[in-house]
Amino acid sequence: MKVGFALKITLSVAFVGSAVTVGYFAGSFAHSMFGPGPETDYSSLPDEPLDMEALMLEYHGLDSESTDYSDVFEPVEAARIAFDLFSSSENHFSQSSGEAVALGLVHQAIHSTHIRQGNDFFEESLSYSGMVKDALRMYQDGDEVVQYRGVTSSDMTSASFEKDGNLYDVDEYVDLMGRTLENPCNYTLDYLSVLDKNEFVTTSFTKNDDDTYSLVLALDPILGVQGYVRQMKTISNLASYPSFDYVDLTFTLGEDLSLISMNTHESYHATLASGIGSAISSTITTNYFTDVVIQIPNVDESVSYSAI
């Protein structure tokens, strides 16, 4: 499994995560404003994948107390190591909070959660605005994923979900959503998908005075979202894949490159099947926790958002 290709913005996620979640609610925002925008072709894209086995072998051969990882690894390598460390923890979770804005007028709040408990995986995304009160839950057990739709409460502390969900095998789910729940990142992170810079940020990886690390990635707006856009088109009933202007990821990593937080800033245009479209920008912050047991809730139980 490749780690780091997707927490969600089912800002909506996230997906995103991810996280964990802008993609999911792109269609809801697009209801609010005007006509279709540009279309982007995401087929037959080039890639230059990382050799994660060799990279993790090199990482585990270093001493975190005496090593400045920014002298050893490239920024994208550090990001993939961080996601690999997070994913390999048998009990972990992340929570996200953010906002998406359509044409600077319509504001939508988002919460999302990603949980791994042993071999079981869970994601939830909540969204609320004057027009949108959408909720989505996914449960993965082995090779099957069950997805439930619901309605978010006004205070965004809970949601009510349909009793009957949609069942997918993992191959079907990846075709629809671009990733499985085992993968906590919505974005494609490889040597080609990370730019040296864009108009807002410069890709960088530096060690801080407190021994944490700051990592900034300027993603290619096509190569970096090729899996993420599947999720956005499927869930939001879009006429075509959304077109991105930019995606910036800013991480805080621990002294051992463990994930602490990720801030996402992105801008894109999404068009509904009806032809209505909107320019959308979003910001989301995700906090990550490992080696902590969080019980996966039943579909009629609420998730606590105390970690955001």
pLDDT digits (tens, 9 = 90+) for 22-71: 444 444 444 444 566 688 999 999 999 999 999 999 999 999 999 999 99
pLDDT less than 70: residues of the chain: 1-37
In a domain, 3, yes or no: no
Burial of 27 (0-12, 13-18, 19+ CB in 10 A): buried
Bridge partners, residue 167, by sequence: 146
Residue 286 lies in a domain: yes
Q: 91, 89, 90, 59: which is closest to 72 by C-alpha? A: 59
Q: Determine the pLDDT at residue 105.
A: 82
Separation of alpha carbons 11 and 26, rounded Å:
7
Residues with Cβ within 8 Å of residue 130, at least 6 apart in sequence: 106
Contact 82, 205 (CB under 8 A): no
> How far apart (Å, rounded) are the C-alpha atoms in residues 253 and 262?
9
SS3 29: helix
Q: What's the total number of domains in the chain?
A: 1
Residue 9 lies in a domain: no
Q: In terms of residue numbers, what domain contains 267?
A: 22-290
Cβ-contact 272, 255 below 8 angstroms: no
Name the residue among 193, 192, 307, 202 with its Cα closest to residue 260.
Answer: 307
The answer to whether position 144 is within a domain reads yes
Q: Is the residue at 2 inside a domain?
A: no
Question: Looking at the domain assignment, is residue 305 inside a domain?
Answer: no
Amino acid at 149: R
In a domain, 27, yes or no: yes
Rounded to 5°, angle at Cα 11 from 76 and 17: 40
Q: What is the structure's pLDDT at 131?
A: 76
